[in-house]
Amino acid sequence: MDVVTECWTKVTSGLNLLPDEGVCVDVLHAAGQHGLASDVLRVLKVTGVSRQENHLAALIDAFCHAGQIKDAFLTLSSMRSADLVPIATSTSSIFDIISKDVDALDSAWSIVEGITKEGHQIDVAVLDAIIKAAVALGDQQHAMGIYKMFAEYNAKPTLETFNTLLSGCIAAGHRELGDRILADMKQFRPKHVADAVRRGR
């Protein structure tokens, strides 16, 4: 990575060249722990490339590989602020890290609590990723506990939230809990959830 940092500095500062978008995304994948991210995003802006989901997804990936989960979580909130909607690839690196074991899951939740105490908003994509990790670890109780705290974090469940919880109920053979989640889907009824419920009838 030191070589990447050295080359980036030489190209952008020494030679005053502007790397293209593909190079910038490649560097973003490695930028998390070396302070290059802000400069790469600056170069993208100078070259007239609008900030896209894949740019910040690459940065989230870099943060995760550097063990900087808090920064990864905050980047998801920044995406939403920039009107970029996180998708599955945005949180795949987060899921890979926090679904390793229960300790990783607990650590992620501690980070969420710390971020909110600092006055920052937690994006629903972070909560969905943690629920998904809990379900993957077979901890449906933990997943439901997080789901019940959505209102506390000013978050609204998404279709992914409900689908993940339901998949956990199916895996655990917990029909009664699955019925309660379906009832919540019908009560919540954002358009995309309502459509999904109707299709499932």
| Tens-digit pLDDT string for the chain (201 aa) | 567 777 767 777 777 777 777 777 677 666 554 456 667 667 767 777 776 777 778 788 888 888 889 989 998 888 887 777 887 778 999 999 999 999 999 999 999 999 999 999 999 999 999 999 999 999 999 999 999 999 999 999 998 999 999 999 999 899 999 999 999 988 876 554 445 545 554
Residue 177 is encoded by which pair of tokens? Answer: 């809990």
Task: Name every residue whose Cβ is closer than 8 Å to that of residue 51 and which is 6 or more positions away in sequence.
Answer: 41, 44, 45, 82, 84
DSSP letter for 152, please.
G
In a domain, 151, yes or no: yes
Q: Write the burial class of residue 65 (CB in 10 Å: 0-12 exposed, 13-18 middle, 19+ buried).
A: middle
State the CATH number of the domain containing residue 70. 1.25.40.10
Model confidence, pTM = 0.76
Residue 85 domain-assigned?
yes
Domain of residue 187 covers 51-200
With CA atoms as reference, report the closest residue to 1 among 65, 52, 57. Answer: 65
Q: 148 in a domain, yes or no?
A: yes
